[in-house]
Amino acid sequence: MPRSWKIGFGIFFLVVLALTFLEANEPEPLNMNVSYSGKDKIPLGTFAFFESWKNTREIKEINQPPFEFLAKEELPEGIYFFLNDYVVFDDNELNKVLDWVNRGNTVFISAGYIGKNLLDTLNLEVRTDLRNTDFKSRPGLKLKNNRENFRLNFDIEALTFTKIDSLEHNILGTAVFSDKPSEEKPNFVQTSFGKGIIFVHTTPEAFSNYFLLQEQNYRYVETALTYLDPDKTLWWDNYYKSGKSFYSSPLYYLLGNKPLKWAYYFVILATVLYLIFQGKRRQRPIPIVKTLENKTYDYTRNISNLYLEQNRYREMTLKKIELFLDHIRSQYRLSTQELNSDFEEKLMAKSGNNETETQELFKKIRQLKAQENISKEEFLQLTRAIGSFKNTKNGRTGINA
């Protein structure tokens, strides 16, 4: 190898080594994936909020859809708390939720996208506001009973209400896009529904780890939660979560245990190797081809039974004679066109039968062929005579006729 090639390969190897080192030591980028799970510590998880809140009140986690949870015979009571980047109920599920609220319970929904069927039921309309300059959308958050402006330090698509009925809805909070009061848009409303209450909040980022751990932002959440009755049981929804806090797949538990995970990988590897090597060594199976069955006997039996059932003894007699003559032609090589005395002498010589039996047999054959009607007894007599003739051994030829 030329020296210049060696130098080039050496430089290339050092560059790859340096890039690998830099990549290995580079800090992991901030994970801004949406979760809202109470067990996630990523910026948009809610570990800090959930852990601090459950120390102050009774919280029960729900890992099933609301339709199943609210279909029990003994309905639970309390506050159903939904927190996610989206909450969309189908019509049947929404009816279950609304019926539960109508019984005197409370639903709190904080989501960046809310199903249209729920908004229509509550007579609400929403839109996305992007009003900040410099390509940023970081609105402040204010509450009715706490006019402090809490700032978001990351960009969001702020969802605000554009249709509010002051008789039906109580505005509890706003999103602030500038210092002007006219630029404050409602993002947190309370609505009475039957005997219960529905809270709708459109900025779930306010409950995230990233927001709560910035300065004094935790006071925003504390104030927002004062509207919820502390004596009621709070049902924390884990089903409508972008980041699941529970896993129903057995594979998750399998891969979560290191020994089981490696055992699982080895099983997959062994299966692949078996398919590669065993598949090459083993020949394809040779299919079993069944030989064709001789149906002549069954066919003959069926035809004979048909003739017997119909008492067609003349047809059976003629068939019997034809088969006997065919036997003579194939066995003794004699022509059967004329059954005369010359034919009988040749047949006696080849078959070994005596003259009397041979002459009586063919006399009987000529007689039956000329008859119009043949009885069963005559047919049986002919059959026995032909059988006796065939069973006679030919001493000269050694052929068993």
DSSP labels for 3-55? HHHHHHHHHHHHHHHHHHHHHHHSPPPP-------TT--STTS-HHHHHHHTT
> 36, 50 in Cβ contact below 8 A?
no
Residue 315 half-sphere exposure, CB side, CA atoms within 13 Å? Answer: 10
Residue 113: closest CA among 201, 238, 220, 236: 201
Which stretches of the chain drop beneath a pLDDT of 70?
Answer: 1-2, 5-6, 9, 20, 23-24, 26, 28, 130-136, 179-182, 244-250, 252-253, 256, 276-284, 297, 299-300, 303-311, 393-401
Q: What is the DSSP letter of 400?
A: B
Alpha-carbon span 392 to 401, nearest angstrom: 7
CA angle 47, 233, 68 (to 5 degrees): 85
Structure tokens at 328: 């003579």
Cβ-based neighbour number of residue 203 at 10 Å: 24
CA distances from 251 to 246, 259, 268, 271 (A): 13, 13, 14, 18
> Facing residues of 107 across strands?
80, 198
Name residue 222's amino acid: E
Q: What is the DSSP letter of 227?
A: G
pLDDT at residue 272, as a whole number: 80
Considering just the CA atoms, what is the radius of gyration of the chain in Å? 50
Alpha-carbon span 56 to 359, nearest angstrom: 126
Beta-carbon contacts of 157 under 8 Å, excluding residues fewer than 6 positions away, are: 112, 128, 130, 137
The kind and range of the H/E element at 237 are strand 234-237
Structure tokens at 305: 């039974």
What separation, in Å, do the N-terminal and C-terminal C-alpha atoms of the chain show? 94
Pairing of strands 184-193, 169-176: antiparallel
Cβ-based neighbour number of residue 34 at 10 Å: 20
Q: What is the DSSP letter of 182?
A: G
Pairing of strands 158-163, 169-176: unpaired
- Give the global pTM: 0.58
Residue 356: closest CA among 392, 326, 327: 392
> 187, 143 in Cβ contact below 8 A?
no
Q: Cα 337 to the chain's mean position, in Å?
A: 77
Q: Where are the alpha helices (DSSP H) in 103-166?
A: 116-121
pLDDT at residue 352, as a whole number: 81
Beta-carbon contacts of 35 under 8 Å, excluding residues fewer than 6 positions away, are: 42, 44, 45, 46, 241, 242, 243
Q: Looking at beta carbons, which pairs linking 3-6 to residues 24 or more positions away fall under 8 Å?
A: none
Cβ-based neighbour number of residue 177 at 10 Å: 20
CA-CA-CA-CA dihedral for 167, 172, 177, 183, to nearest 10 = 30
Alpha-carbon span 312 to 331, nearest angstrom: 29
Cβ-based neighbour number of residue 214 at 10 Å: 14
Q: What is the DSSP letter of 291?
A: P
pLDDT at residue 322, as a whole number: 87
pLDDT at residue 278, as a whole number: 66
pLDDT at residue 45, as a whole number: 92
Can you tell me whether residue 255 is helix, strand or coil? helix
